[in-house]
Amino acid sequence: MIMRIWRAQATPEGAEAYSKHFEENVMADLRRIKGFRRAYLLNREHDHVVDIEVHTVWESLDVIRGFAGENLHAAVVEPEAIAAVTSYDKTVSHFTSKEFEAGA
């Protein structure tokens, strides 16, 4: 599996707006893609700034290519997301992922 990671920063209010956008729009789109496995939306607040990380898990780079296009490293960021954040990465990182269960 491949984990795709994107980062942004927002105000606390912007992070809340981004979370709502992610749940209502992004997840609906991702769920329609065969080979998309799951997503994690992580927030860390400090000094009135919220660091946002989105981790999505995919079956393969080919599946990601179907979502993101030929430039796998380009972030896919919708206008509603841009409006909610104060800064964001225009690129993403990909990591090969292995899963381990608790107690195993």
pLDDT grade, residue 98 (50/70/90)? confident
Please indicate, yes or no, if residue 101 is contained in any of the structural domains.
no
Write down the mean pLDDT value for the chain. 95
Q: Is residue 62 part of a domain?
A: yes
pLDDT tens for each residue of 33-56: 999 999 999 999 999 999 999 999
Torsion (CA) 1, 74, 21, 43 in degrees, nearest 10 = 70
Range of the domain at 52: 2-96
On the question of pLDDT at 104 being above 70, the answer is no
pLDDT-based confidence at residue 82 (cuts at 50, 70, 90) = very high
60 found inside a domain = yes
Assigned domain for 103 exists: no
Q: Tell me whether residue 17 is in a domain.
A: yes
User: 75: domain CATH number?
Assistant: 3.30.70.100
Structural domains in the chain (count)? 1
Secondary structure of the chain in HEC code, one letter for each residue: CEEEEEEEEECHHHHHHHHHHHHHHHHHHHHCCCCEEEEEEEEEEECCEEEEEEEEEECCHHHHHHHHCCCCCECCCCHHHHHHCCEECCECEEEECCCCCCCC
Whether 79 is in a domain gets the answer yes
Is 81 part of a structural domain of the chain?
yes
CA-CA distance, 64 to 83, in Å (whole number)? Answer: 24
